[in-house]
A and B are shown apart, each in its own frame.
Chain A
Amino acid sequence: MTDSDYAKTTKPVPNIVALEVLQKNGVNIDRLKELITKGVGAEFTTYYYYTILRMHCTGLEGEGIKEIVEDARIEDRNHFEAMVPRLYELGGALPRDIRKFADQAGCPDAFLPQNWEDINSILKVLLEAEQCAIRSWGEVCDLTAGKDPRTYDIAQRIMQEEVEHEAWFIELLSKRPSGHFRRKFAGQSPHTGSQGSLIHL
């Protein structure tokens, strides 16, 4: 039994036109489900590890970035929420065991560095995590562009926020000029959030 077989119903399932259309469009649905499962795994683990990172944003410098880390933390959780329903629509399922879920995640764990009192060391971990997420959702976008508008729409919304997160952390590390001001509220998710009606905020 595979990780997702537990989620299969014993009742007969009628022909799913939404999947039939994807197959006719040439989408490799098995690969898509695999990439989505890894992508949402990375979002979920990142949410967890960002919680720890945020707790260690202390002192004058740490306090300055705490709210930004919080935005990224909540928005990564929102990405998980936004994409998981699509995974099930495609006939996929989250691994039953959260340990397996974490081990198969598409991005490495954003572990707290040993020298966390140097705020730049935390920023570097955050930046690395966002950059991996951009690559991860870029794969889903590439696989679905022009073939699976529903998955593509969700993935590109997630990717837009990941790109913004990357920009924030680059700006904080390099002082590069920026168009970034602030979210209207913590973890607003302007692309995957209420504007997209994908999650309930």
Chain B
Amino acid sequence: MLLQICRSEEIQDSGWKVFTINSIDFLIGRRNGKLFACNNSCPHRGASLSKGHFNGDNIVCHMHGYEYDVFSGKLMNMKSWKKDSTWVEQSPEWRKSGDLVKYPIFERDGLVYVTLP
């Protein structure tokens, strides 16, 4: 389903906005002039990615610091829990994460379009 989401100027560079469609939150953002769209739910533990921040092209989840490339959607950095040399690392099962749920996005004539499922 192709949807017109907003005007291009509403998505500033290095910023993002959350749009709710059919009770699902979608994160629409722009980094270095390029648009991206993903589900706002972190694939690790479901936190709102909109509360995170950028690290390069990665979005950093505020909950556990996992980083995902906003363009490829891939998990780029799985944070360690060995914050202190004496801390014990978390179990591999708990640490596992999938990739971002991404959606095709483009802009035309000053409008942003996203293809949603």
Interface of chain B: mostly helix, strand, loop or mixed: loop
Q: With contacts defined as CB atoms under 8 Å apart, how many contacts are there between chain A and chain B in the complex?
A: 62
- The residue among B20, B62, B87 with the most chain A CB atoms within 10 A of its own CB is B87
- Chain B residue nearest to A38 (CB atoms) is B45
* Inter-subunit contact B86/A115 (CB<8 Å): yes
Chain B residues whose C-beta falls within 8 Å of the C-beta of A125 in the assembled complex: 87
Stretch at the interface among A1-9, A22-30, A163-171: A22-30
Type the 1/0 row for B77-117, where 1 means its CB is closer than 8 Å to any CB of A.
00001011011101101100000000000000000000000
* Inter-subunit contact B46/A35 (CB<8 Å): yes
Question: In the complex, what's the smallest C-beta–C-beta distance from B60 to chain A, in angstroms?
Answer: 13
Type the 1/0 row for B11-36, where 1 means its CB is closer than 8 Å to any CB of A.
00000000010011100000000000
- Chain B residue nearest to A42 (CB atoms) is B45
* Inter-subunit contact B62/A135 (CB<8 Å): yes
Chain B residues whose C-beta falls within 8 Å of the C-beta of A153 in the assembled complex: none
Is B63 on the interface with A (CB-CB < 8 A)? yes
Is B5 on the interface with A (CB-CB < 8 A)? no
Is B47 on the interface with A (CB-CB < 8 A)? yes
Question: In the complex, what's the smallest C-beta–C-beta distance from A32 to chain B, in angstroms?
Answer: 10
Binding site for A on B (CB under 8 A): 20, 23-25, 41, 45-48, 62-64, 81, 83-84, 86-88, 90-91, 93-94
7 nearest A-B pairs in the assembled complex, by CB-CB distance: A111-B88, A114-B86, A115-B86, A28-B23, A103-B93, A113-B86, A108-B90
